[in-house]
Chain A
Amino acid sequence: MASEAERKKVALRRLGDATFSKVDKVSAELFSLTYGAVVTQLLKDYEDVAAANVQLEKMGYNMGVRMVDELLAKASLAQCASFSETAEVVAKVGFKMFLGVNVEVAAATSSEFRLLLSENPLAEFVELPEECSKLEYSGLLCGVLRGALEMVQMRVECSLLRDTLWGDEVTEIRVLLKERLVEEFVDDDE
């Protein structure tokens, strides 16, 4: 059974690599500087770290609901049998395809998993100034996960537990499954 899971992981990693080689790429520096400009502009506009955190998460959500389609279109994925398998797909294929990084899954259960990012292209060059020490710089990723998983009928809650910018060793995102959504059909006539 364990070897079965191992084999699946290897297959997913290979799929992630293959998908990553297929997609168009931009310069990592252009990417991280652009994201940096967005975050600092948000901070200027909202003048409040907590408000900027909320906005980043919302922006991520709006990206996520679109990105999941691209992921499903470019990578040929089978349906996930369990939530922990979803975790592996997110880590090995999703993150690899969009960010080109290898992400580890930790503490995966049927209702929760954690993603460990040892490298984070968003936060390259960044050092948080003291007055922004509570800023969830990579909070965008939480929003992306929430948006993407919602589009595949999973309502989740994501939070940034640790961040290299806060002085931690890795960036850790916790994903908590709240409920599986049932497709609702709304009658147009009403």
Chain B
Amino acid sequence: MPAGGCLFVIVGTDDKPIYQAEFPEARSQRREDTLHLNQLTVIHAALDMVDELVWGTQAMYLKQVDRFNDFYVSAFVTASHARFMLLHDARNEDGVKQFFTDAYEAYVRLLMNPFFDSGAKVPASFDQRIRLLGKKHF
């Protein structure tokens, strides 16, 4: 993840990760695997915070839920308890909130597709939509 970049992960209702994307898209593959693993671990750890925080608020956007060194983790929980996690290294609360709201809309459209069930592969159109949002907000 380059400076100013973000890693976006959707964790489904049944605790399985169903989607992940990086903005801006990683150009080189170097050290990708190890880097990725570390970042995913940070997000994974933050999930516990989310599960705690979610009962204390009415809002879906939980703001920043965790930080690790100079990484921040922001979260958004949908009505069906799918969790949107975003790892970022720049403070950008409004942008993140906007991004989450738009991503939620795309996610709802995805859920309305009768051929989609969590566990299935996310169609390319959803990926495109999210990447567009990523470009717009970050």
Contacts and interface: CB of A to CB of B under 8 A. Distances in A.
Interface string B101-138: 00000000100111110001101010000000000000
Nearest to B123: A127
A4 B123 CA distance: 49
Contacts of B112: 29, 33, 124-125
Interface residues of B, number: 10
Contacts of B116: 127
A129 B114 contact: no
Nearest to A124: B112
A49 to B, nearest CB: 12
Contacts of A128: 115
Nearest to B125: A127
Interface string B44-56: 0000000000000
Contacts of A126: 113-115
B17 to A, nearest CB: 19
B121 to A, nearest CB: 8
B114 A40 contact: yes
Nearest to B108: A125
A125 B115 CA distance: 10
A129 B120 contact: yes
Contact of A39 (B109, B114, B123, B125): B114
Nearest to B126: A127
B15 to A, nearest CB: 23
A10 interface: no
Contacts of A121: none
B127 to A, nearest CB: 12
Contacts of B114: 33, 36-37, 39-40, 125-126
Given A124-B112, A126-B114, A129-B115, 13 more contacts: A29-B112, A33-B112, A33-B114, A36-B114, A39-B114, A40-B114, A125-B112, A125-B113, A127-B115, A127-B123, A128-B115, A129-B123, A132-B115
Task: In the A-B complex, list the 6 residue pairs whose CB atoms are closest, starting with the nearest.
Answer: A36-B114, A125-B112, A40-B114, A129-B115, A125-B113, A127-B123
11 contacts: A29-B112, A36-B113, A40-B115, A124-B112, A125-B114, A126-B113, A127-B113, A127-B125, A129-B120, A129-B121, A129-B123
